[in-house]
Amino acid sequence: MSAPSIPTAELNQQLKALLQAASESFQQAASLRDLYDLKVRYLGKNGSFSNLMREMAKLSKEERPTFGQAVNEAKAKLEGNYAICETRLTNAEVLTRLTAEKLDMTLPGPVVPNGATHPIYSVTREICSILARLGYAVRTGPMIEKNRYNFEALNIPEDHPARDMQDTFYIDREHVLRTHTSPIQIHVLENEAPPLRVIGFGAVFRRDSDVSHLPNFHQIEGLLVDEKVSMADLKGTISFFVRELFGADLKTRFRPSFFPFTEPSAEVDCSCPVCRGKGCALCKDSGWIEIGGSGLVNPNVFKAAGVEYPRWKGFAFGFGVERMAIIKYGINDIRLFPENDLRFLRQFT
Ligand code: DAH
């Protein structure tokens, strides 16, 4: 056994000095970050205390345990000091942050403007929900249609005025931007088996533009196919839905008319919601406003779509959605709908 080359007293002195220096530097640490660095320096694996521990080898076997215990006690003490400094610095840092991030609860919050549903969409949704109560399901179709769907299958012959260049936007020889939602009827008749109750809606396009016409407007289309269908069913359904949409006091009127895809056909008017029939600018003094067309499905349409006739019969109707929104909200210029002027749209929030 080798004699100790360092007396215990000297190592104890070093230990005491180290503890003192470490404690003082912990106390002087200006931030948590600095404090942590100091902890590594003194208490880390290669820190000062570990180095001192290594010196223990130079002590006699008898002296080692006593010194080891002294080192461990000093370390424990220092760790306690560390914890105290850590709490103090944490509190100080939180306080600094809280002061810097001080919230003024009395400040007004940021203003997030409320969006509004576009009146065309509101009316469409309302019509769909009224007709859903009568068992109608919603269908849509393409805006670019084949001539066959927009015209031929709807019994609109080649020389019909609706095909005139003035009304139709042509895409190419075979395709047009649909001029009405009636082609949805053909898609439904081709793809679904009767009995049927469907509504189709969407944008339609015509070469037309003035106070009461838009080149791009919206229609809603109804189609019912069953074994026994009459004009009385058609009138009952439309009168019901006009009353539900506009109010019980508005009357519905049917005028004989012509559409290639219906026979007989009727135009539908409803009493003017502004003057209640007395006569005003909106109804051009007639007391009535035209809202769309209707009729019993022409057998030629059934034939074109491959539906058995006279086993199946049907009625159909098509309404302009802008027209109905004008009536419902008392709007005096159809061009307000596509303009998206916020002063107009905000009135519907
Ligand atoms: N498609 C016609 C139009 O745009 C409106 C219409 C009339 C639709 C009679 C129908 C109908 O379903 O039966 O002018």
- Cβ(153)–Cβ(301) under 8 Å? yes
- Mean pLDDT over the full length of the chain: 91
| Mean pLDDT within 89-102 | 91
pLDDT at 273: 76
- Tell me whether strands 144-146 and 175-177 are parallel, antiparallel or unpaired: antiparallel
| Mean pLDDT within 274-297 | 87
For 127, 230, 274, the CA distances from 124, given in Å and listed in that order, are 5, 26, 21
pTM of this prediction exceeds 0.75: no
pLDDT digits over 290-308, tens only?
Answer: 899 999 999 999 999 999 9
| Mean pLDDT within 209-228 | 91
| Mean pLDDT within 258-278 | 89
pLDDT of 104 > 50? The answer is: yes
Q: If pLDDT is split at 50, 70 and 90, which confidence band does 114 have?
A: confident
Q: If pLDDT is split at 50, 70 and 90, which confidence band does 148 have?
A: very high
* Nearest C-alpha neighbor of 264 from the set 233, 223, 231, 291: 231
Q: If pLDDT is split at 50, 70 and 90, which confidence band does 118 have?
A: very high
Q: How far is the CA of 293 from the centre of ligand 1 (A)?
A: 5
Tell me the C-alpha distance between 326 and 323, whole Å.
5
Q: How far is the CA of 316 from the centre of ligand 1 (A)?
A: 8
Q: If pLDDT is split at 50, 70 and 90, which confidence band does 1 have?
A: very low
Q: State if residue 182 touches ligand 1 by the CB under 6 angstroms criterion.
A: yes
Q: State if residue 316 touches ligand 1 by the CB under 6 angstroms criterion.
A: yes
Task: From the CA of 182, give the closest atom in ligand 1.
Answer: 1
Residue 276 neighbours by CB under 8 Å, 6+ apart: 249
Q: What is the DSSP string of 218-265?
A: EEEEEEEEESS--HHHHHHHHHHHHHHHH-TT--EEEEEEEETTEEEE
Give the distance between the most distant pair of CA atoms in the chain: 129
Tell me the C-alpha distance between 102 and 96, whole Å.
10
- On the CB side of 210, CA atoms within 13 Å amount to 2
